[in-house]
Structure 1
Amino acid sequence: MRNASLDRRILAITVPAFAALICEPLMLMADTAIVGHLGRAELAALGAASTILSTVVGLCVFLAYGSTATVARHQGAGDQRRALEAALGGVWLALLIGVVLGTLAALTARPLGAALASSDRVADLTTDYLLVASASIPAVLLVLAATGALRGVLDLRTPLVVMIAANVLNVVLTVALVYGADLGMRGAALGLVLAQWAAALALVGQVVRRSRHTHASARLRWPDVTRAGRDGVPLLLRTLSLRAVLLLATLVAAGFGDASLAAHQIATTIVMLLAFALDAFAIAAQTLTGHSLGAGDAAGTREVTRRVIAWGFGFGLAAGVLLAVSAPWVARAFSPDADVRAAAVPALLIVAAIQPLSGVVFVLDGVLIGAGDGVYLAWAGLVALLVYAPVALLIRETDAGFTWLWGAYALFQATRWVTLWLRQRGDRWLVLGAR
């Protein structure tokens, strides 16, 4: 009966978390469809600019993860005021980082656009888009921090509702500005900026309203900001190691030719799609782990860990079986090219085979983030990168082939599983209480 109750709590977090997570790629898909009708150059420019923006945001995802863990721990300890003060510290940190990164993006828009563009016209359009869209960076980081804070207090509904509204607003504004006002790429960027700032103000406003109910101060408090920054550094390093693996894999795949690079994009797209669902389970693990540790409940934390591992493995197994059966059709849906499909299918089968393992990796990552064990996660990420990188480079030097590259990815996930599994079996991460 206890398992059934815990399963309901896990799903009560996972389902709305997943729905909120897919709102961001849906916003990009909408922009792609709208801009795509302007022409090939405009679509290429959007692709280049989106790569830059998504990299910046991806590296700052620690603002959400760190906020969830800290706020959940204080909430679990029964100190709602301190939970909200910690949340606001993360919000202030997001604003400060966002202003700096947004300014840098605007100042470097032209060289960045030229570096990623395929022609002079695309470079000019990329620059036009980035000059405007850079203003959305502080808003997106505020959304991350506020969403993480609200997850920490088990409010999953507000981020979901706000992000759905932001998606609708983005479509309306972008169509109006691109076609109605005839602003082209600048109109698409402006629609994104306005929608993201609307979402940021709504979510931050909800955090501030909650803080007033607990008499928590909403003013800038440097100790809370610096503490959020210190907690975020290890998670940033962890994310950097994951990004390095993706970048290295793309560079190696490119060396095997156009068909392999195209097949690599197919496999990577499927991995990222599955990651959204697994990340939703990881968010449940973060939140529930933080709450139970904050409440001083070691046994309850162990039970949460066991159940989220079961869910991660079960979902990974089901997804893996489905992908293995459908791999030829998935490849065909992405490309009519026979060479691309021939390269993609074996890679997809490897992805399918490691999905149960990946499911466990994701949820254990969430458990340790919820426990505030970021330093260990940073070292674990570095170990996995150091295992993967020489193997990937050896595959490139020996021209072993594209399929072996995805075999190396399976090794990377297995290394992550070993490091995370060994950690959760011990007690060093089971730190009870509000800190």
Structure 2
Amino acid sequence: MPASRRVSDDRVPLREVLRLAAPALPVLAAEPLYLLVDTAVVGRLGVVPLAGLAIAGVLFAQVTSQLNFLSYGTTARAARLHGAGRRTEAVAEGGQATWLALAVGLVLLVVGQLVAVPVATAFAGDGEIADAAVSWLRVALFGAPLILVTLAGNGWMRGVQDTVRPLRYVLAGNGLSAVLCPVLVHGVGWGLPGSAAANVTGQALGAGLFLLALRRERGFRRPDLATMRAQLVLGRDLIARSLAFQACFLSAAAVAARFGAASVAAHQIVLQLWFFMALVLDAVAIAAQALVGAALGSGAVARARALAGQVTRYGLVLGVGFGVLFAALIGVLPPVFTGDATVLALVPVAWWFFVAMQPVAGVVFALDGVLLGAGDAAFLRTSTLAAAVLGFLPLIWASLVFGWGLAGIWTGLSLFMLVRLVAVGLRTRSGRWAVSGAVRPS
């Protein structure tokens, strides 16, 4: 068979990538959009409840977001089994991840209740804000097992290349929360705890739908300690990688704050746009995870490598498009977030770094999806930690010492992305990630 024909056979149609990526994007965006609704509702209660929500929300999100291996790790493992034609076992992988989610979630619930007061006080100090944060956390913690079940459900469904049902389930849960939030906060008069109660109710609906789907596909089996141990090993690497991201972004915010309120406000505006852009690119990465995992599970290594090349090009095109778009919007978009002249004067310092990094980010996020789909989490952990330690963090803290301001902070972010680009690019080119089989050898 001619080489050109083999290459053509290994290509995945763009519509197949879009079939998985398009429903994944609203799922990724649902939580940030709901948080905006929640913030607007609570904001009408006054400054103290809003400040309490800000503290409690950040604390809760930091804990639950570190456990996203229940989604990404489960996708990688389930996709391989699905690609090998073992759908029943792929769904069962989701069942084991769900058992793990319930166990970890219950631990979080108990420990969270025990430490809610000291942790909130440590962040907010003694007084009304800490009390408000604790009142929200006490209720919201009951949603921890439910959130983790949803993460596991997203994981196995993406693994079997179904991103439509997660979209329905997540939107149903978030929609219910959005409707209940103003009713419970203002109508019933529960105040800030009403916001948390609305969250838990919506999370219960979403988790219940995922559990029902798992039961219908007979994915619940007895807990298998060996499978859960393998999931935890993969989770360990992904948690370490996530912690590296958190260390970078928290350090950047802390250093920006040292340069004054205007600097941290300008930094926050551009950083939130960066996170928004990441949502779109993560949708492509999720499609890459499912398709690459399935290809390797079926033994189609050439197809997996061809996919890596395809999604790299898609990521680059998206990144260039974002760069052009945001470059054109520099005079339009920042005033939407603030009318403060001092802040607007500082935004361009970070903005042009942000624009320049779009093509790099497009490629990096796409290749992250490829390597996650291959289960190459150990490499991603090590390379991300190296990029943080060698790239981002030294420049961040040097910016504080030498007074480089936002230019230094965003130079650090740019170096962080460039180090990651080199690392994932070389890894993908080497082909060492493309290990075939229904289960990746440890």
TM-score, normalising length: structure 2: 0.94
Q: Once superposed, which parts of structure 1, at least 4 consecutive aligned residues long, lie more than 3 Å away?
A: 1-5
Cα deviation for residue 208 of structure 1 reads 2.5
1:414 equivalenced with 2:418 (yes/no): yes
Name the amino acid aligned to 2:338: S
| In 1: Cα distance, 2:121 partner to 2:330 partner | 37
The one of 332, 338, 343 aligned to 2:346: 343
Structure 2 residue 288 is matched with structure 1 residue 281: no
Q: Which runs of 5+ in 1 are unaligned?
A: none
Does structure 2 retain, via aligned residues, the 8 Å contact 1:208–1:218?
A: no
Distance 1:271 1:103 in 2: 35
1:157 aligns with 2:161: no
- For residue 31 of structure 1, the aligned residue among 32, 38, 52 is 38
Aligned to 2:4: none
Structure 2 runs not aligned, ≥5 long: 1-7
**Residue 261 of structure 1 corresponds to which residue in structure 2?**
264
The correspondence for 2:89, drawn from 82, 99, 108, is 82
- Name 2:371's counterpart in structure 1: 368
- How far apart are the structure 2 equivalents of 1:165 and 1:3? 37
Match of 2:3 in 1: none
* Distance verdict in 2 for CA 1:118–1:403, change over 3 Å: farther
Look up the match of 1:236.
239
For the Cα contact (< 8 Å) 1:290–1:370, is it kept in 2? Answer: yes
Q: Which residue in the other structure is 2:23 paired with? A: 16
5 Å matches for 1:70-149? 70-117=77-124, 120-149=127-156
User: Secondary structure of the residue that 2:438 maps to in structure 1?
Assistant: coil
Residue 391 (1) aligns with residue 392 (2):
no
Q: Rate the CA distance shift 1:76–1:428 in 2: closer, same or farther, 3 A.
A: same
Distance 2:365 2:182 in 1: 37
Deviation at 1:401, TM superposition (A): 2.1
Measure how far apart 1:322 and its partner are. 0.7
Residues 40-65 of structure 1: per-residue CA shift (max 9 Å, x gap): 21111111111011111221111100
Alpha-carbon contact 1:343-1:403 (below 8 Å) kept: no
* Residue aligning to 1:423: 427
In the alignment, is residue 224 of structure 1 matched against residue 231 of structure 2?
no
Q: Show CA shifts across 1:79-128 (max 9, x none).
A: 12221222111111111111112222222221222233377212111110
Q: How far apart, CA to CA, are the structure 2 residues paired with 1:360 and 1:178?
A: 43
Residue equivalent to 1:320: 323
Matching residue of 2:206 = 199
Secondary structure in 2 matching 1:327: coil
Share of identical aligned residues, percent? 37
Question: What is the identity, as a one-letter code, of the residue corresponding to 2:421?
Answer: W
Find 1:166's aligned residue among 173, 184, 207.
173
Q: Deviations over 1:289-341 (max 9, x none)?
A: 10000010011111111111111111111111111111232221111111111
Alpha-carbon distance in structure 1 between the residues aligned to 2:122 and 2:203 = 26
Q: CA deviation at 1:346?
A: 2.1
| Residue-by-residue CA offset, 1:388-415 (whole Å, 9 max, x unaligned) | 2112211211112222210111111000
Q: Is the 8 A contact 1:150 1:207 kept in 2?
A: no
Q: Distance in 2 between matches of 1:284 and 1:230?
A: 23
Bigger mean CA offset, 356-365 vs 223-232: 223-232
Q: Would you say how many aligned residue pairs link Structure 1 and Structure 2?
A: 431
Tell me if structure 2 keeps the 8 A contact 1:32–1:43.
yes
- How many Å separate the matches in 1 of 2:110 and 2:369? 32
Change (3 A) 1:153 1:416: same
CA-CA distance at 1:5 after TM superposition: 5.2
The 3-state SS of whatever aligns with 2:207 is helix
Whether the 8 Å CA contact 1:26–1:167 is kept in 2: the answer is no
Which deviates more, 382-391 or 103-112? Answer: 103-112
Counterparts in 2 of 1:54 and 1:80: CA distance versus 1, 3 Å: same
* Counterparts of 1:79 and 1:4, CA distance in 2: 23
Q: How large is the Cα RMSD of the aligned pairs?
A: 1.5
Match of 1:310 in 2: 313
CA distance in 1, matches of 2:9, 2:182: 50
The letter of the residue matching 2:332 is: W
What code does the residue aligned with 2:155 have? G
Q: Provide the C-alpha distance between the structure 1 equivalents of 2:145 and 2:138, rounded to a whole number of angstroms.
A: 14
